[in-house]
Amino acid sequence: MEAKPQVKGMDDLMTGMPTDLGWVDSISRHASGVVVYFQPFDRSPLTCRGYGHDRRITLVLCPHLPKVLDRLLGRPVTCAKCGVAL
C-alpha cells in the first residue's frame, strides 16, 4: 500500500519542510495571502511563489543531503536537513 503524500495548508506550513520546489526557506504572511521562499534541493538560487490563504501545498520526502562536517570529522554521516543517519 502506497503512502499518500502529506498536504499542508498555508497556516501549517513551516520552514524546512520539503516540497516539490525545494525546502521552505521562509514564509511571509500578508493579509492578501502568503509568499513562500524555497531553497531548491540542488542549491540553486532561492525561488518564491505567492499563494492564497486557502491553498494547500504537497510535501515530498527529504532528499537527504549529507553533512560535510560529519565526513571531515569522521563521525557517522547524517542528513543536513532532517538529521536521519545515512
Is 2 within the bounds of a domain? Answer: no
> Predicted confidence band at 2 (pLDDT cuts at 50, 70, 90)?
low
Position 69 scores a pLDDT of: 86
Is 81 within the bounds of a domain? Answer: no
Asked if 4 and 23 count as a contact pair (C-beta separation under 8 A), the reply is no
C-alpha cell at 55: 491553498
What is the CATH number for 11?
A: 2.30.30
Is 14 within the bounds of a domain? Answer: yes
Mean pLDDT calculated for residue range 29-42: 91
pLDDT tens profile 44-77: 899 999 999 999 998 988 888 888 888 888 889 9
When mean pLDDT is compared across 10-19, 46-55, 76-85, the lowest value belongs to 76-85
CA distance 57 to 49: 11
Is 20 within the bounds of a domain? Answer: yes
Nearest to 55 by CA among 24, 16, 27, 13: 13
pTM score, two decimals?
A: 0.74
CA distances from 32 to 10, 13, 25, 28, 75 (A): 12, 17, 20, 11, 47
Is 82 within the bounds of a domain? Answer: no
Q: Which domain holds residue 53?
A: 7-61
User: Number of structural domains, the chain?
Assistant: 1
